[in-house]
Structures are given as C-alpha cells and as structure tokens.
C-alpha cells in the first residue's frame, strides 16, 4: 500500500524532506505546494510530482499525509486543515508562535485521530539518540546536570529576526526540547539573560544574539544553555549530561576525519557547516519514523505536546530576560 | 536521456551498488543477473527491475552499462563481454587474479572505446579524497613517507581464503592502490613478510593473516603497510602521509560522536563495523562518478591500468613473502 | 642573597609549597609552623628546616617572607602579622570568609609595602595561562561568552562543609577568579541556583552540592559556571571562551597518553585525580612567580584585591541562591 | 646514608641528570667532569659540587656511583673504569658503537658486581610504562604487531652524523629497545631500507635520513618502525601494539590542553618540542630507578645486555639497508 503525500513549502527544508520521503518504500510524493510556483514546479519535477495549491492538495482524498515546511505563520492553519481532512501531519517546528493556537492544533489532531509529529529533528540525530539510549540504559546513573551549547555560524537577516518571535522561540526552541528529552523532567524555575554582541541592528529589532539560560527542574536537576547567533568557527551543537555515575557528551560532527600536523598546530575540520549538513541523517530518520508511525500505528517521538512545552519554556525565557528575574513555570497560569 | 543498466551479482556489494545507482538521475536499473535466482529476484523486485541471465542482459542492445559485482573469477569474462557489446563497465576489484587476463581486459575496453572503471572505492571516501586534495594543494610539501594501517574485524571463512588468491591479492590490493594514489609514484623495490597469528587453518590453506609490507618508490619515497585479518576492536582503516612541510592523517570514522566518562576511562565509539558501513559514502560517490564519466565523456579515477598495477604489487608481495627476500618490481619482466 | 621563609601549615598544600619553594634558587625554608607539631616536624626535617611557633617565626627578623597554608580562619591574622613585621606574604585562598577582614588585610599589606599574593594557582596552570595569552594576543577577537565546568571527584566530609563558608566561597571562589581573569571584566548581575544531588547530609549542613551560576558583565558579556561536588569520573576542570573571531577551550589533563581499543570502545585516561595532581605545575609556577615578584619588585598576578573580588561574587551568589533572585553586584553597598 | 656521585659530561643531558639526581633523597652530586672546564664549573656551582678530572673522580673512594653523559666514544672506558673502582654506573645509550666493546663492559660490570644501567629513558616514560603494564596485565591478549613512529624535528649537523655510527645506531637504537621491551620477544629476521629526503649532505656523509624497518620475531610477531630525521611539526614519538584482544596506542604529549576553533580548523598544540621536553618525566624517573636499584639491590630495567641487543639490531639494520636484503639475526655469528 502506498501513501500519497503533499509537501507544503519548497524551500530548503521542504526540498530535504521531499527527497527523503521520496526514498521511503510505500510513500509517494504527489503534490508540492508553494506560493512561489517556480520553486514548487522545480521540486515537483525533480520527484515526478505535481504542483497544487492548498485547497487542491487538502481536497484530494487520496492524500494520506501532509508534510508542512512552509513559513511559521502558516503552520497552525495547515495542521488544522489536515486534521479536518483526516490526513496525518508532519509539521516543522514551531507549531505556532502562540500557545493558544498550538493548543488548538493539539486538540484538532487528537479529535481527528491523526498522527501529528513536530520536526524536532535533533531527537533523531544518531549521536543524540545513541546518547539518550545509553542514559536510559542507566550508564550514568541518575541524570543531574545538563549543559547545552548551541551556536549558529551567523545571524539570519534582521528582517527575519524581526518576525521570528525572538531568539528564544526561534533558536532555543530546539534546546528546550533537548532539555526536556534528555532530563526526562519538567522545568520548575527558569532564568534567562542575554546580550547583543554581534550586530546592533539585532537590538534595534528588539532581540538579542547571545543568551544564557538556567533551568531548575521539579526534581532539582540543573540545566544550563548557552547560545550565540554567531560562532566564527561554524555550527556548534554539543551537550553533556552529568549523572551520578558518569558523564556523556555529544560532540560535533566533522565533514572528514583528516588531521593535519603543521609547524604550529595539529588540526582537524571545523564542524559541519550548518543544520542542513549537521542533521542530514536526522532529517532522513525523522521522516522514516513518521511514516513508520503512520503505517504501523506507533506513537511518534515528538508530539504537538512537546512542541507546546518547548514553546512554554521559550515564553518563560523571554519573560525572564525582559524582566531580568527568575520565572516560575506556570506562574501566569491562573 | 536514461541509461539502462544491468547489475551482475546480487550479493551484499551488488545490493549496495544497485541501491546507489537507482538514486542516480538518468540511470535505470533494468536487469539483475545472479546464478542465485532468488537473490536476483529479490533485488530486482526492490528496484522495479527484471531478472535476466548473462546472455539476455549482454544481448540487450538497450543496456548501456554493466555493473559487475559477481565473484572474482567471472570479472574478466564479463568485462570482455561488455566490451564486445560496447557497453560501459563498472567492475569490482580485482580485475582478475592474473595479470594476463587483466591485460586482455584492458586491451578490450580500450579497443571498444568504452568506459571501464574498477571499484577501488577508497579513492572516493570523503576523508581520503579530501586528504589527497590537500596533498595536491601542496599543504605538506613533497610526500615522503606513507604509513598504512588496514585491519579487518575478523577473517573470512577459510574456504573463502583458499580461493582468494592470497591475502596480498584479496586484502592488500586496496592498500596497494592507496599507496600509488597517495604517493603518485611507482614501486621500485618491495619487501613483504607475514605470519599466521589468528587461526592455524589459514596456514593450512597456504595463506597468512598478518602482513608487513615495505615499498621503496622510484623516487626514493617509503611506504609501510601493516594489515591483519582480525582486529578485536573492528575495522581499522587509517593512513598517514609525512611530507617535507607537514603531515596528514586519515582517521577512522565513528558511528556517533558520543564520549563517555566513567570511573575508569573516557571513551568513544569503536570504528564503523566493516567496509560496507565505513565506505557507505564512498560507494555512493564512486557510482555517481562512473555515470558522470559515462554521460560526460570524463576520465574515470580508477582505471583497469590501476587495477593491473595493484595486482603487480600483490604478486610482488606474494613472491617476497614466499621467498623471504626483497623483490624488484618488473624483475621477471623479460 | 637568600630569603628565609616560614611556612604556616604542614598539611597537604603546605607540603607542596614547601617542596616547591625549597627548589627555588635564593630561597631557604627556615621554619615550619603547625599546631600539629608532628606534622610540622616531619615537613621541617624533610627540607632541613626547623619547627617554630607563630610568634617565633613572625618575631624572627631574618624571615623575609611567609607562606600561609593553614586553615582559612587563620589567614587574616597571619597576613596582618606578616604585614606588621614587614614580611612578604603568600597566602592560600581565600583571604578570609568575610569581606571586612579581607579589606583589613588589603589595607595592611598596602601600608606595609609588602608583596601579598593570593594562591589562585589556576592562573599559573600552563594550559590556562597559555589560553589567556592567546586571548590577549587577539586570537579570538573580543571575548563574549565564558563557560566554566568545575567538578570535584567527591564531596569533602560534611563536617568540613559545615565550616567552609558554603560551596560558593569554598569551591566556586576559584571559578569566580577565572571568570574575572579570563573576561577581564567585572560582574554587573549574577544569578545562582543549585541543588543537593549527592548527599542529603549536605542539605542538612545548609549547603548545596551542585550549582549553576550565570553572570552578566558590565560590558554585556555572559558567563555560565556549572559545578558539582561529585563527578564519578574524577576532577573535571575545563572552560571555553567564545570570542567574536573564534573559540578557545582549556581541556582536562590526563596522566598518560595511552589510548585503548577494545571490542566496545576506544578509551583514554580519566583526568588527573584531583587538584594536587591537576595543578602540580601551577603550584610550582606560582611559588616561583611569588619569589620573582619579591626579588625583583614586580607586581603579582593574584592580589588581595582579586581575592576580595572573588569573595564578593561568592557572597552575591550565596544571596542569589538563598533568595532565588537575580542579584546586582554592589546592590547592598550603601 | 648518602651516595656521592660523579657526573661525566656537562652537556644538556648531563645537566638534566645532575638536576634530577640532586633531588633524590640520599644522593649527593660531588663531582662534575667535563673536558670543557667552564661547562663543568657552571654545572658544579649550580648544585654545590666540585669540578674534577676523570682520574680524580674515579680515584675518590667515596664516590659510590658514576653517571656517564659524555660523548659516545668515552662510554666504554668510563664504564670499565667505574667497574674497576667498584662504582655503580648509569650510562647514557649507547654502551658503545661496537658490540665487542659493549660485551667487554658487560663482562666487567658483571665481574665487579656493580649495578650498571643504560639510559633507555623511554622505558620510564609514564605513557609508555603504563602501556607496558597494561599489556602485561593481559588487556590486549597476545601482542601481535607493533608499529613504531619515531621522528625528530630536524636533523643534527652533518658533522655530528658523520661520527654518529649511522642513523640505525644513533637514532633507531631507542626504537629497537622499545621493540624488544614491548613485544618481549627477539628478532628472527630484519629488513631495513631508507632514503635521503631532507638534505643531500647526509647522503654524502654516507647516511640516510628516513628509514623503514620490519622485524619478524622468533615467535612470528611483526614490527614496523618508521623514522625520519626531520618532521616539520616537531618531535613525533608514537607506537601502537595490536594484540589478539585489542590494541593500545601511545600518543604524543602536548605542552598544553588548549584547543582552538578558528574559521578553518579545530587545532591543538604540536607535540613537545624534542626529547628533553618530551621525556622530562622519564629522565627523572630513570635516575630515581637507578638509585633505588643501587640502594636496595633491585635489578635495573635497562641493562648492558639490553644495550647490546639494541646494538645488534642496529648493526643488522645497517647491513640490511646497505645490501638491500633480508638479514637473519646472528647470521654472522660463527
């Protein structure tokens, strides 16, 4: 049996998901939807698919699943439409920039009984998931402290930042998800601070480019996250988890294993350039996981609820940073 | 324009090449040929191809290229048949276990004017080819000394060893090719010695399981190769090239970048399990390279001549080991 | 010309300083002072020195310098006595557990015109000081973010903790000094949190064993410090400094450079066991630095003022942790 | 009880041994002997010793041990004189450039019943000796293959090379000792080849600057040694030992543990500059071992017999290289 799929968004992440799903046995890319018709046509042609508009794709009863890679402000509508049409949904993060709309999505997919998976691809990274498996196997005893380093090679255009929801929702959302996944615990209090160190225009846009977040969990565990929009040496994605019986680190991935000895240094490659390269395997594995869940009725590893929890942390961090104070999670939940 | 391809051999390496070529744009897998009809049928079905026998596949004028992954003793016949039918050929190493037949193949493909590429996949490994490019860019000055470490996780069945042509033709053939490629030079003299250290049955089969080879090139450069059929920690594929201005090392590839700190050690993964995993990317890249050469009339990186040169070195090494003496390359060439 | 020295405290750190100063040209260990006369006698004998009491040592005009390695509560008195006798002083950290007494010491040594150096030995560690020199040479541009990891192999006895002044004054005092030294900047605001994760008795003693501290400097730079009293794999002393043009990391030091490949892992040594081993070279270098400053009238790298600044940060961290809020440095300074 | 010691040779290695033995409890440096009186005087003064000539030092019955660091051609005479005077001897490698004289030394010290230790300091290197201990503990099963990399940062003056006995006696003598120590086995056959790749003047002096040696032991184990007089990146001292159950590597030692991330590379320090730095700890440990053997009647780890065995291998290698053939150890022993 073959599932026909519609991909929404023919940008770089859409192209990656399209190529990966085209390699899944039992999956056929039928439609590519994008307001940029040229981009849609190019991607469709590459995989023997057709161009459609939203209504056309959503209205086609043969489409069993949607893959949403369009801009963030369209996510919620497309999830709701998919649910209404009883189509399974894979949606890039974030679900939405507001918790209300994210909750509406969660309700809709639950009622429709469709699979809805959020694209926290890091949970599928071979290094990260191997580490998680070892934690679960008890290798380091009780997890106690998580240190997350998450730095981009360079800041996006200020215009992008202006509509991004702020660095905590745009960039740390992944790190907040890693925090919850790795510690298997929820935040009790959170403190966030930050600075603009790379480009004053980011401050003018009301955002920051460097952050330092500390979370204390309900069980008293500690998590520190440091992020920067710009690391001169590239994309830096590491974390380490200290447990009562040992420690596990997830290191960067290098393009090659060449080591060079010169007069002055012993050197190896800088990390993979950016997320498309670093998480290449993770993107392939998450799409396989999604269709495996769809085909065999298995639970997905990254749910809408996970997306909402990460968003809550991003909101708490934004508040903590703005008011320069410790925030208790749920303190505004009256 | 699409090239129709016949794959000979549906074993593990045939399956890898079939999957990789099925992903090439402009390439269609038409036939799978194997004396094991079940294996052929399974592989053909997976890629929407048909099962054929040798004559059927070779006799079909629409087949533009053959990919030969069958047992070594069939290589030369299939190359000759491909050349006779003006089909381009990708053939797994070695061309043949004898230099005479390899030479006949070289002549045939030259006369037929078809592309013929030998599967020395290591030349396409991202780490190895990046290192080579840096050597060519002059990073380490003149190459002077090459140290090659090449160890398998475990010996093949003795029955396999008995028909393998001996460890130098079966296993070191790749290392001899690396030697020629990395130093861009030819052997002048060669010394080989070895032992049976893992399994006495290998000695009974007339072979050894551990070797130490030293080559001095025409330009006075030195190369040492050490190989073992059995490394307890897995597949070990490293080399280092000392030059007048520095040194470059090619290290092993790990499945993940997890580092673990326990009471007693800081540890990371053992290398990728065996050649199918270690050279996964190389296999994909060499097939892409082959079809690129076929489609655009470009030269291939690994020719029949390369295959013959590696075979000459393997023969010299076998002689050196048997007679426990230094062998001059071409000393028997009357 | 030879300087005669009196060492106060014949415990493990006193023994290290005694051995190191005995190797300095132009320095002679004359007295060892310790309430434990046996320990004093043993150490004195080893270096051809004599046992004295405080008055005897302080009253001997031939003593040019004192080295204070006794318990924390004696530091201030011994500094004041040394200053009164115009003796140069090397004193282990901390100056005192209170800022008032530390200030009195600062005033006394300034008035006496004697050299007074505080034993922040980490500033003399070859790795740390090489890193600092590279930062100063501009290698990573402007420093922006400092991440400090500081974990002990195991908690001291609870009885010790009870009189230690708390984890921030006892353990993080070093990390606060590293922060000031590495960023060459002062704290503006500080947030600290923590937990008891290893031993409930520590909570009963009113302290914590795991901390997460975030400092934002006056120039907007960020620093995160994570500490634990107990790391199963040993003594973990690392930091990394992200700058506008690159990043520098200070890694752990291993006892040997042995790497082991087993069936399951590639492993190397855990870090040097504890501070006495890890900072062996630093202890030797700081004593050499002290006598070099004394002999040649050079400034010392770690002053009483540095000790006071570190203490201020420890007090702010204690307050932040106790009240679970962000603390502004100097907020209580009327 | 204190042993009075005479050091012969006030060059760089003499100065190192003098400083190390001055730190041994129960050891007193009494005489420094050197044809260069100024050098002798400077070293003597630094340690409160006196200058003497050979006869004066050897004739003083209070001298319990000699430490021979003078030029190679004086070693045998000084060992013989020490034995005649019943003084224990520590002598730098090699014992002599000829086996005959080395044998005479061995006989003399045996008859005199004095301790005679040869300065193969690598056996005392913390990394190497830890590795050896792990091999002996069975960690890698039966040792099977040893790969030794031994490269100097630069060639010595040609004038030195001319009188050095050739690269195999001058440089590889250490590697031959490592081979015997690590495999705990003796050579059966040996093959050596080499080239002049750095400086034609070395060829004119009748020597080579790059070598590749292969040894097959009596038990069938294999060893490959590669050496170069000039490595652009510094002093390279590594080896690895493959065993039936795993592998152990001894890596280089770095001056610091700083890692730098730049736009183009992740880099760490090049290895310690040369043998004086790399083997600093080893030199201290071997002198302590010598006096421990002297004081407590323990056997020494590196005997004259070891020195002779290494010399035999160097002679066999020289012969193999000159005649370009495999040499059987002892083939000339009539």
Rounded to whole angstroms, how far apart are CA atoms B46 and B261?
43
Closest partner CB to B139 (pick from A245, A250, A260): A260
Count of positions (residues) in chain A: 334
pLDDT at D287: 97
Distance of CA C328 to the CA centre of its chain: 24
Q: Per DSSP, what are the bridge partners of residue B88? A: B65
Which residues of chain D fall below pLDDT 70? Answer: 1, 332-334
Rounded to whole angstroms, how far apart are CA atoms A249 and A207?
30
Sort out which chain A residues have CB atoms less than 8 A from C211's CB and list them.
222
A145-192 residue pLDDT tens: 999 999 999 999 999 999 999 999 999 999 999 999 999 999 999 999
The residue in chain D having the minimum alpha-carbon distance to the alpha carbon of residue C19 is D23
Residue D130, chain C, CB below 8 Å: the answer is: yes
Rounded to whole angstroms, how far apart are CA atoms A215 and C69?
38
Sort out which chain A residues have CB atoms less than 8 A from C141's CB and list them.
232
C268 and B265 within 8 Å at the Cβ level: the answer is: yes
Neighbours of chain D (3+ CB pairs under 8 A): A, B, C
Q: How far is D113 from chain A (nearest CA, A)?
A: 48
pLDDT at C334 over 50: no
Q: Quick one: tokens of C221?
A: 């730079």
Q: Quick one: tokens of C44?
A: 């004195």
Whether the Cβ atoms of residue D228 and residue D151 lie closer than 8 Å to each other: yes
C239-291 residue pLDDT tens: 999 999 999 999 999 999 999 999 999 999 999 999 999 999 999 999 999 99
Other beta carbons within 10 Å of A111? 10
Q: Which residues of D12-45 are buried (b: 16+ CB within 10 A; e: fewer)?
A: ebbbbbbbbbbebeebbbbbbbbeeeebbbebbe
Strand duo D327-328 + A236-243: pairing: unpaired
Q: How far is D317 from chain B (nearest CA, A)?
A: 14
Residue B233, chain C, CB below 8 Å: the answer is: yes
Q: How confident is the model at residue A332 (pLDDT cuts 50, 70, 90)?
A: low
Rounded to whole angstroms, how far apart are CA atoms B196 and A221?
55
Rounded to whole angstroms, how far apart are CA atoms C78 and C87?
11
Residue A258, chain D, CB below 8 Å: the answer is: no
Q: Quick one: tokens of C156?
A: 């001291």
Sort out which chain C residues have CB atoms less than 8 A from B236's CB and list them.
261
A94-141 residue pLDDT tens: 999 999 999 999 999 999 999 999 999 999 999 999 999 999 999 999
A22-58 residue pLDDT tens: 878 789 999 999 999 999 999 999 888 999 999 999 9
pLDDT at A334: 43
Rounded to whole angstroms, how far apart are CA atoms A268 and A259?
5
Q: Quick one: tokens of D196?
A: 């002049």
Quickly count helices (H) and strands (E) in chain C.
13, 15
Q: How far is A315 from chain D (nearest CA, A)?
A: 32
Q: How confident is the model at residue B26 (pLDDT cuts 50, 70, 90)?
A: confident
Measured N-to-C along each axis, helices C304-323 and C99-112 cross at an angle, to the nearest 10 degrees, of: 170
Mutate to test the interface with D, among A263, A264, A266, A273 (most CBs of D within 10 A): A266
B265 and C266 within 8 Å at the Cβ level: the answer is: no
Whether the Cβ atoms of residue D236 and residue D226 lie closer than 8 Å to each other: no
pLDDT at B154 over 90: yes
Ordered by where they begin, the domains of chain D are 3-114 (3.40.50.720), 123-278+310-328 (3.30.360.10)
Residue B265, chain C, CB below 8 Å: the answer is: yes
Rounded to whole angstroms, how far apart are CA atoms A288 and A1?
16
D242 and B193 within 8 Å at the Cβ level: the answer is: no
Whether the Cβ atoms of residue A324 and residue C326 lie closer than 8 Å to each other: yes
C33-68 residue pLDDT tens: 999 999 999 999 988 899 999 999 999 999 999 999
C191-232 residue pLDDT tens: 999 999 999 999 999 999 999 999 999 999 999 999 999 999
Residue C324, chain D, CB below 8 Å: the answer is: no
Q: Quick one: tokens of C257?
A: 């450079």
Mutate to test the interface with A, among B42, B135, B256 (most CBs of A within 10 A): B256
Nearest Cα to B161, choosing from B190, B198, B193? B198
Residue D127, chain C, CB below 8 Å: the answer is: yes
Nearest Cα to C244, choosing from C157, C138, C113, C122? C138
D261 and C249 within 8 Å at the Cβ level: the answer is: yes
pLDDT at A23: 77
The residue in chain D having the minimum alpha-carbon distance to the alpha carbon of residue C244 is D262
Rounded to whole angstroms, how far apart are CA atoms A222 and A143?
9
Closest partner CB to A256 (pick from B127, B245, B262): B127
Closest partner CB to D222 (pick from B189, B212, B247): B212
Beta strands per DSSP E along A34-121:
50-51, 63-68, 88-92, 116-119
Residue C244, chain D, CB below 8 Å: the answer is: no
pLDDT at B332: 66
B258 and A249 within 8 Å at the Cβ level: the answer is: yes
The predicted model gives B30-58 an average pLDDT of 96
Q: Give the helix/strand (H/E) hosting D287.
A: helix D280-296
The residue in chain D having the minimum alpha-carbon distance to the alpha carbon of residue B328 is D324
pLDDT at B334 over 70: no
pLDDT at B331 over 90: no
Q: Quick one: tokens of C287?
A: 């004593």
Closest partner CB to C260 (pick from D23, D246, D259): D246
Whether the Cβ atoms of residue C324 and residue A326 lie closer than 8 Å to each other: yes
8-state DSSP, B139? T
Neighbours of chain C (3+ CB pairs under 8 A): A, B, D
Whether the Cβ atoms of residue B110 and residue B187 lie closer than 8 Å to each other: no
Residue B258, chain C, CB below 8 Å: the answer is: no
C253-266 residue pLDDT tens: 999 999 999 999 99
D260 and C250 within 8 Å at the Cβ level: the answer is: no
The alpha-carbon radius of gyration of chain C (Å, integer) is 20
D140 and B220 within 8 Å at the Cβ level: the answer is: no
Closest partner CB to B257 (pick from A139, A140, A252): A252
> Exposed, middle or buried: residue B56 (CB in 10 Å: 0-12, 13-18, 19+)?
middle
Residue A98, chain C, CB below 8 Å: the answer is: no
The residue in chain C having the minimum alpha-carbon distance to the alpha carbon of residue D26 is C46
Q: Is the ipTM of this complex over 0.90?
A: yes
The alpha-carbon radius of gyration of chain A (Å, integer) is 20
Q: How confident is the model at residue B22 (pLDDT cuts 50, 70, 90)?
A: confident
Closest partner CB to A246 (pick from B130, B257, B260): B260
């Amino acid at each position: 049996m073959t599932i026909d799929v519609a991909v929404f968004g023919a940008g770089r992440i859409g192209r990656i998901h399209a190529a990966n799903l085209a390699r899944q046995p039992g999956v056929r890319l039928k439609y590519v939807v994008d307001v940029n018709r040229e981009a849609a046509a190019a991607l469709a042609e590459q995989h023997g698919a057709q161009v459609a508009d939203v209504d056309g794709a959503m209205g086609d009863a043969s489409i069993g699943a949607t893959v949403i890679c369009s801009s963030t402000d369209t996510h919620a509508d497309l999830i709701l439409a998919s649910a209404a049409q009883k189509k399974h949904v894979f949606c890039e993060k974030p679900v939405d920039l507001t918790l209300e709309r994210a909750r509406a999505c969660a309700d809709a997919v639950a009622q429709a009984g469709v699979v809805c998976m959020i694209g926290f691809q890091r949970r599928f990274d071979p290094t990260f998931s191997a580490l998680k498996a070892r934690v679960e196997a008890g290798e380091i005893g009780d997890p106690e402290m998580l240190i997350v380093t998450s730095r981009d090679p360079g800041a996006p255009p200020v215009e992008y930042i202006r509509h991004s929801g702020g660095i905590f929702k745009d960039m740390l959302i992944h790190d907040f998800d890693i925090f919850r996944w790795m510690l298997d615990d929820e935040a009790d209090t959170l403190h966030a601070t930050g600075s603009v160190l790379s480009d004053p225009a980011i401050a003018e846009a009301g955002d920051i480019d460097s952050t330092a977040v500390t979370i204390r969990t309900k069980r008293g565990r500690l998590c520190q996250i440091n992020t920067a929009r710009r690391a001169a040496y590239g994309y830096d994605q590491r974390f380490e988890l200290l447990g009562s019986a040992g420690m596990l680190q997830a290191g960067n991935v290098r393009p090659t294993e060449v080591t060079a000895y010169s007069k002055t240094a012993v050197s190896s490659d800088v990390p993979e350039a950016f997320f498309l390269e670093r998480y290449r395997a993770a993107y392939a594995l998450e799409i396989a996981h999604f269709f495996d869940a769809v085909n065999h009725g298995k639970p997905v590893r990254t749910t809408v609820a996970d997306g909402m929890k990460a968003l809550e942390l991003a909101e708490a961090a934004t508040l903590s940073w703005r008011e320069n104070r410790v925030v208790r999670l749920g303190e505004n939940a009256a």
